[in-house]
């Protein structure tokens, strides 16, 4: 029908694009706007849009750092340095590449009829209506989605006798029998992070040197009148320094009181990442959501660990304070704790890596029987200027002193596993994060019972950095999270 011009007007991108009176439709002028599909020109596409094609002034993802291997957010289209919009650098609308994405209402994009089930894939419609490809209704034997209560491998619910049972013989450990299932069963994926169980190649310290470091350190911890005892009580200035840093996060971070259901049941379902051999994920269904946000009491550790209260190193809690003015100080390529030299700087980092690298559990049964006590949930601030940290840690410890946890970058929506151990002679806690082997973190167990915990990060054995863990409180009330003040 000619040029498809309606009386006095035309649709964007068709014909002469004029309305009555000569009004020009978007996209007809230089540098103008067209609607998706009509030339795909966005505002200012001929100009200097920030970050697009490297010609703008928007910071690149690399400029924002690569701490812990978890970059700041990289937006879609990062290959071009900026935000990819439909039609910018190619028509990327659904179906425009022939992928055949389904339009609302049944309209098909080029590429063929790709509606669910139209290719014979047998995708289930609500209500049990089956598409071609076989009976794939929930629970059917045609390989479809299982109904609640039906587990892969026959009946594999905890304690069941089918193949893949969690506790052989159908006997749950007592701690599992006595707790109701609060959350839905959690599946974080079937991948296992095995790299975290291998000591980093840069940590080639031998057992003799580790023994000497622990002996020197333990002598400081246990000697009468140890300078480490009641450190935070006798050094209020140092405690005030860490508290001031933490208050900067508490008052300056909009997300401090708004956690968006982090580590809730729906969060776990949406974040599947390689788990560590030792982890607390198996215990999630047996505790309420807010259990993992709780603050532990120091006195509870006396009866929690398998080594019990008889260990002299646990007679007094020790607040480890890193940096100038603290009780763990680097000086002349050596490390001094409580004024006593305990190791060279490289050996100190290597010993932390050795402590943080834990053998995996012997089998699934051993892993499933582990009991976990929460250490809490923390924001990880990398400096006093980092008042809006993007990384959050959730930590727990079992009766053998194994540390488990999760590192979450809420800006990139990326999660990684954490694993390490508590040293029973010094109260030192060291852990690894993700699949990187060049980063080891350490703090003290008592630190993790406080509102803020000084943290020392080792980047290999050549560099270290002081950071701070700031405790987050669970603001869940009646199943709802507190909303941000300025969303």
Structure tokens at 239: 């405690």
CB-CB contact of 402 with 358 (8 Å): yes
Confidence of residue 129 (pLDDT cuts 50, 70, 90): very low
Structure tokens at 413: 């929506």
Which is it for the CA torsion 294, 483, 412, 68, positive or negative?
Answer: negative
Between CA 44 and CA 22 the distance in angstroms is: 23
Judge whether residue 453 has pLDDT over 50.
yes
Between CA 13 and CA 3 the distance in angstroms is: 11
Between CA 296 and CA 185 the distance in angstroms is: 25
Phi, psi of 80 (to 5 degrees): -100, 5
Q: What is the 3-class SS of the chain, one letter each residue?
A: CCCCCECCECCCCCCCCECHHHCECCCCCCCCCCCCCCCCCCCCCCCCCCCHHHCCCCCCHHHHCCHHHCCCCCCCCHHHCCCCCCECCECCCCCCCCCCCECHHHCECCCCCCCCCCCCCCCECCCCCECCCCCCCCCCCCCCCCCCCCCCCCCCCCCCCCCCCCCHHHCCCHHHHCCCCCCCCCCCCCCECCHHHCCCCCCCCCHHHHHHHHHHHHHHHHCCCCCCECHHHHCHHHHHHHHHHHHHHHHHCCCCCCCCCCCCHHHHHHCCCCECCCCCHHHHHHCCHHHHHCCCCHHHHHHHCCCCCCCHHHCCCECCCECCCCCEEEECCEEEECCEEEEEHHHHHHHHHHHHCCCCCCCHHHHHHCCEEEEEEEEEECCCCCCCCCEEEEEEEECCCEEEEEEEECCCCEEEEEEEEECCCCCEEEEEECCCCCEEEEEECHHHHCCEEEEEEEECCCEEEEEEEEECCCCCECCECCCCCCC
CA 102 → CA 38, 85, 128, 278, distances in Å? 20, 20, 21, 43
Q: How many CB atoms lie within 10 A of CB 404?
A: 26
* Helix orientation angle between 345-356 and 207-222, rounded to the nearest 10 degrees: 100
Q: Report pLDDT for 257.
A: 80
Mean pLDDT of all residues in 180-202: 69
CB-CB contact of 465 with 459 (8 Å): yes
Selected residue with higher pLDDT from 405 and 54: 405
Judge whether residue 14 has pLDDT over 60.
no
Q: For residue range 391-439, what is the model confidence (pLDDT) as tens digits?
A: 999 999 999 999 999 999 999 999 999 999 999 999 999 999 987 788 9
Q: Report pLDDT for 313.
A: 83
Judge whether residue 46 has pLDDT over 50.
no
CA angle 218, 224, 228 (to 5 degrees): 60
Closest CA to 455 of 246, 311, 202, 250: 246
* Cα–chain center distance at 234: 36
Between CA 401 and CA 428 the distance in angstroms is: 11
Judge whether residue 481 has pLDDT over 70.
no
Q: Report pLDDT for 184.
A: 57
Judge whether residue 133 has pLDDT over 70.
no
Between CA 3 and CA 15 the distance in angstroms is: 5
- Entry pTM: 0.64
Ordered strands of the 340-344 beta sheet: 328-331, 334-337, 340-344
Q: For residue range 332-378, what is the model confidence (pLDDT) as tens digits?
A: 999 999 999 999 999 999 999 999 999 999 888 898 899 999 999 99
Selected residue with higher pLDDT from 297 and 276: 297
Confidence of residue 230 (pLDDT cuts 50, 70, 90): very high
Q: Report pLDDT for 187.
A: 63
Q: Report pLDDT for 476.
A: 59
CA angle 429, 432, 437 (to 5 degrees): 140
The count of C-alpha atoms lying within 13 angstroms of the C-alpha of 282, restricted to the half-sphere facing its C-beta, is 24
Q: For residue range 278-295, what is the model confidence (pLDDT) as tens digits?
A: 989 888 888 888 899 999
Q: For residue range 253-263, what is the model confidence (pLDDT) as tens digits?
A: 988 888 888 99
CB-CB contact of 420 with 429 (8 Å): yes
CA 242 → CA 147, 228, 382, distances in Å? 51, 17, 12
Q: Report pLDDT for 186.
A: 63
Give the residues across from 444 on adjacent strands: 428
Q: For residue range 143-166, what is the model confidence (pLDDT) as tens digits?
A: 444 444 434 434 333 333 333 433
Structure tokens at 432: 């690894």
Judge whether residue 310 has pLDDT over 50.
yes
Q: Report pLDDT for 11.
A: 37
Q: Report pLDDT for 474.
A: 83
């Amino acid at each position: 029908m000619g040029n498809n011009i309606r009386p006095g007007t035309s649709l964007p991108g068709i014909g002469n694009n004029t309305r009555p009176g000569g009004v020009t439709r978007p996209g007809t002028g230089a540098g103008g706007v067209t609607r998706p599909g009509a030339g795909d020109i966005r505002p200012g596409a001929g100009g200097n849009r920030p970050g697009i094609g490297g010609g703008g002034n928007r910071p690149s993802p690399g400029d924002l750092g690569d701490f812990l291997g978890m970059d700041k957010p990289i937006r879609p289209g990062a290959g071009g340095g900026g935000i990819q919009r439909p039609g910018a650098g190619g028509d990327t609308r659904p179906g425009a590449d022939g992928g055949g994405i389904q339009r609302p209402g049944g309209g098909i994009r080029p590429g063929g009829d790709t509606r669910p089930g139209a290719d014979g894939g047998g995708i289930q419609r609500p209500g049990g209506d089956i598409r071609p490809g076989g009976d794939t209704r929930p629970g059917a034997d045609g390989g479809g989605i299982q109904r609640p209560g039906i587990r892969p491998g026959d009946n594999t619910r905890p304690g069941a006798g089918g193949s893949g049972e969690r506790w052989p013989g159908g006997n749950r450990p007592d701690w599992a029998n006595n707790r109701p299932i609060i959350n839905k069963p959690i599946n974080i994926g079937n991948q296992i992070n095995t790299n975290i169980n291998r000591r980093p190649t840069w940590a080639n310290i031998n057992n003799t040197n580790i023994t000497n470091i622990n002996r020197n350190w333990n002598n400081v911890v246990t000697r009468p009148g140890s300078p480490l005892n009641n450190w935070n009580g006798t050094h209020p200035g140092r405690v005030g320094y860490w508290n001031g840093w933490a208050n900067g996060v508490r008052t300056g971070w909009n997300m401090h009181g708004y956690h968006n259901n982090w580590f809730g049941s729906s969060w776990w379902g949406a974040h599947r990442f390689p788990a560590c051999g030792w982890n607390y994920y198996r215990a999630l269904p047996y505790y309420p959501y807010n259990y993992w946000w709780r603050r532990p009491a120091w006195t509870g550790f006396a009866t929690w660990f398998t080594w019990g209260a008889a260990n002299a190193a646990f007679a007094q809690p020790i607040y480890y304070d890193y940096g100038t003015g603290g009780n763990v100080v680097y000086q002349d390529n050596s490390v001094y704790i409580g004024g006593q030299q305990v190791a060279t700087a490289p050996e100190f980092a290597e010993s932390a890596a050795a402590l943080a690298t834990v053998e995996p559990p012997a089998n699934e049964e051993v892993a499933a029987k582990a009991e976990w006590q929460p250490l809490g949930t923390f924001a990880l601030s990398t400096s006093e200027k980092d008042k809006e940290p993007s990384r959050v840690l959730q930590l727990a410890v079992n009766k053998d002193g194994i540390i488990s946890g999760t590192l979450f970058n809420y800006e990139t929506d990326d999660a990684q596993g954490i694993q390490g151990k508590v040293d029973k002679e010094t109260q030192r806690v060291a852990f690894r994060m993700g699949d990187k082997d060049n980063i080891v973190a350490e703090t003290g167990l008592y630190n993790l019972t406080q509102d803020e915990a000084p943290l020392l990060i080792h980047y290999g054995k050549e560099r270290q950095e002081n950071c701070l863990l700031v405790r987050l409180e669970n603001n869940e009330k009646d199943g709802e999270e507190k909303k941000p003040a300025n969303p």
